[in-house]
A and B are shown apart, each in its own frame.
Chain A
Amino acid sequence: MKSYKIVEKLLSRLQYKSGPAEQDRMKTPIDEAWRRYEAERMTSSMPRAFDWIFGVRPVKWIAVMIIVLIGLVVSIEILDQSTGPAYALEQTVEAVKNIRYFHFRNLDPRQNVDKEAWVEYDRNGRLKQVRVDFLRLDSVMVWSKGATQYLKAEPNELCLFEDMEHTDKILSFATSHDPRNAVEYLRTREAQGAVRIEIGEPSERSGLIPVNVTYEPNTYLIGAPAPQMRDVLHIDPVTKLVSYINVHVKDKDLWRDAGVWEYLDYNQPFDPNIFDLEKEMGKDTTRFSTLGLDLGMEQGDMSDREIAVKVADEFLAAWKSKDYDRAVQIHGYITRANRDNVLQLLNTSDLLKIVEIGEAFPAEKPLRGYCLRCTLTLRQDGTTRQSIWEIHVRRITPTRWRIGKVSPLKE
C-alpha cells in the first residue's frame, strides 16, 4: 500500500512547465480566438434587423445610405455637444443623482484583495443589497434583507448570519464608494480646503476628462487615517459619469500607484440571483446558518456597559459549570470554524474559579463594544494557575450582544 502512495507522490511531481518561447507560440492562436470572440460579441449585440436589411441585396445600398446619413446627423449632434460649456464637477453630481444600481471593481497592486461589487438602492435611495466578490480570496459576501451571506472556498462553506459589525462594514464599504456620496464629498472637502481639485483637458485618445483630486493626509474618502493621496477621476464627456479612478499614494515624496476603481455599469438592473448565494452553492458546499438562533444575550433595559458585564459574567459562569452549549450560545459565532474554536477553548481549559470580573471599558479601535479584564483560575494541561484574561463584548443586533474575543493577556 505504501509503495502506491510513493508512486502517486512521485507522479504528482512529474510536472511540465512551459518556457517563455513556448508560451508565446501557444498564445498566438489563442489571441486570435479571443479577437474573434470579441468581434462576435460586438456583432451579436447589434439589432437583428440590421442583419436582415443587409441580407437582402436590393435594399443593401439604400440601407447603407440611411445608416451613413444617420451617422452624419449623430456626429453633428455630438460635435455640437462637445463644443458646449466646459466640464464642471457639478455635472457629475447631477448625473449620479438618480443612480440605483452601480457595479464597480477595485484592483490594487499593493494588496491581495481585488474586489468587484454590485450595489443596489431602493426607490428612496436607501441601500437595498450589496454583493462583493473578493477576487483572489475565493470568497463572496452578500448583504441583503438585513442578513449576510458569506460563501468561501476553503473550507467550502456558505455561512448565513446576522451581525451588525459585518453589516456596518459592508454598508460603509458601499457608501464610501457610492459615486453620489463620493463626488459630493469632494465638493464639501474642497470648500474646507482639505482637497485640491484640478480639471484637465480631455484625453485625445479616450476623450475622457481627467479630474485630479489631491487629498491632504487623513482626509481620504471617509476620513480614515491615510497619507497624502491623489485620485484621478476619468469622466465620460457625454454622460458626465466617472469611468474609472486611478489612485496614487504619496510615499517618500513620490506618487505610487495604489490601484484603480473601475465603474463598470451605472443603472443597469442586476439579475436578482446574484444576491442569493444559495444558488451558487456547489454540490460539495455545506450550509451553515446562525439565522434565528438568538446567539448572545438580549440587552433589555440594561445600558451598553451593563450588558457587556452581564454577557461576560454569564459566559464565564457557563464555562465554569461546564455548560458548554450555553457558553457557546452566549459567545456567538459566524462560521463552523468559529464555533469549533470556542468549543476547543472550553474543552481544553477547566475554569476552576472566577476570581474577579473587571469593569467594562471601551474597546480600542477598530474593535467596537467593550472589553473586560477578568482574573481566572484555570487548569490547562494538568497545571493550575491564575491568569488575567481579556473578554471583548460587542453588539450583534440592535438588541443583542455577544462575545467578540476571549484571550489571555500577555504577561
Chain B
Amino acid sequence: MLEDRILIRQAKRGERRAFDRIYEKYRDTLLTVAMNLLADPELARDVVQDVFVKFIESLDGFELRGRLRGYLATCVANRARDRLRQMARGGRVEPDRREPLHIQPLDLAVQNEQLDRLAKALAGLPYEQREIIALKVHGGMSFRAIARRQGIRLGTVQSRYRYGLDQLRTQLNGKVEP
C-alpha cells in the first residue's frame, strides 16, 4: 500500500517508470475482475485499458484513499456496468448470459476443468452478485469498502455475496474440491 503511494507520487511528477510499475502490478488483477464481470476478453481489455487511461488523465488531482487495488477494481466494475448498459441500449444482450465463454487469447492463469466450470457458473450469476464477488475476491476489498465505494448498504453487499456463493455451489452441483 505504501509502495503504491510512493509510485503515485512519482507518477504525478511525470515518472513513467512509476506508472509502468503500477500498470504491471495491477493489469492482470484488473483483467481478472473485468473478465469475471463481462466474460468477454475484448470488452475486458477495453475496460481495463479505459480505466488506466482515465487514471493517467486524473493523475494530477488524484489522492489515494484506501488501497489502490480496490480503487482500480471499483473503476473497472463501474466501467463494466456502463458498458453493459450501453450494449443493452444498443440492442446487444449481456454476453455472459447467452454466449459461451471465450477465454482465448486471455488465458486462465491455471487451466483446469473445474475452473472452467466455475467461470461459466460465475458468468451465469446476476451482475450485482458477480460484481460483489469480483470486488471481494479479486479486488481484495472488504465488504465495508465495497459498500462505501458502491454506495450500497453493508447488509446488501453481504447478502449479494452470500447468494452468489450459494448459487455457485449449487451450480457446481457439489462437485467442488479444495
The answer, yes or no, to whether B147 is at the interface (CB within 8 Å) is no
Range of interface residues on A (Cβ < 8 Å): 35 or more
Which residues of B are found within 8 Å of A41, using beta-carbon distances? 14, 60
The answer, yes or no, to whether B129 is at the interface (CB within 8 Å) is no
**Given A3-B176, A14-B36, A29-B53, also A153-B108 (CB < 8 A):** no
**Given A6-B176, A11-B122, also A133-B107 (CB < 8 A):** no
Which residues of A are found within 8 Å of B109, using beta-carbon distances? 13, 15-17
| A22-B48 Cα distance, complex, nearest whole Å | 12
**Given A136-B3, A151-B2, also A23-B27 (CB < 8 A):** yes
Range of interface residues on B (Cβ < 8 Å): 35 or more
The answer, yes or no, to whether B56 is at the interface (CB within 8 Å) is yes
The answer, yes or no, to whether B72 is at the interface (CB within 8 Å) is no
Do B6 and A116 touch (CB < 8 A)?
Answer: yes
The answer, yes or no, to whether B35 is at the interface (CB within 8 Å) is yes
Do B176 and A30 touch (CB < 8 A)?
Answer: no
Do A34 and B106 touch (CB < 8 A)?
Answer: no
The answer, yes or no, to whether A9 is at the interface (CB within 8 Å) is yes
Do B56 and A14 touch (CB < 8 A)?
Answer: no
Which residues of A are found within 8 Å of B2, using beta-carbon distances? 138-140, 151-153, 280
**Given A7-B168, A26-B27, A135-B6, also A17-B176 (CB < 8 A):** no
The answer, yes or no, to whether A375 is at the interface (CB within 8 Å) is no
Do A26 and B176 touch (CB < 8 A)?
Answer: no
| A77-B109 Cα distance, complex, nearest whole Å | 60
Do A34 and B31 touch (CB < 8 A)?
Answer: no
Interface stretch, picked from B80-88, B112-120, B150-158, is B112-120
Do B28 and A10 touch (CB < 8 A)?
Answer: no
Do B176 and A18 touch (CB < 8 A)?
Answer: no
Contact of A14 among B14, B119, B169, B177 (CB under 8 A): B119
**Given A11-B118, A11-B122, A34-B19, also A19-B56 (CB < 8 A):** no
The answer, yes or no, to whether B5 is at the interface (CB within 8 Å) is yes
Do A11 and B57 touch (CB < 8 A)?
Answer: no
Which residues of A138-195 are within 8 A (CB) of B? Answer: 138-140, 151-153, 156
Which residues of B15-61 are within 8 A (CB) of A? Answer: 16, 19, 23, 27-29, 31-32, 35-36, 41, 44-45, 48-49, 52-53, 56-57, 59-60
Do B178 and A33 touch (CB < 8 A)?
Answer: no
Smallest CB separation, B33 vs chain A (Å): 9
The answer, yes or no, to whether B97 is at the interface (CB within 8 Å) is no
Which residues of B are found within 8 Å of A16, using beta-carbon distances? 28, 31-32, 35, 44, 103, 106-109
List 28 interface pairs A-B (beta carbons < 8 Å), by A numbering. Answer: A3-B169, A3-B174, A11-B118, A11-B138, A11-B168, A12-B137, A13-B115, A14-B115, A14-B118, A14-B119, A14-B138, A15-B28, A16-B28, A16-B31, A16-B32, A16-B108, A17-B106, A17-B109, A18-B27, A23-B27, A29-B49, A30-B53, A33-B56, A37-B59, A151-B2, A153-B1, A280-B2, A282-B66
| Chain A positions near chain B (C-beta within 8 angstroms) | 3-4, 6-19, 21-23, 25-26, 29-30, 33-34, 36-38, 41, 116, 133, 135-136, 138-140, 151-153, 156, 280, 282-283
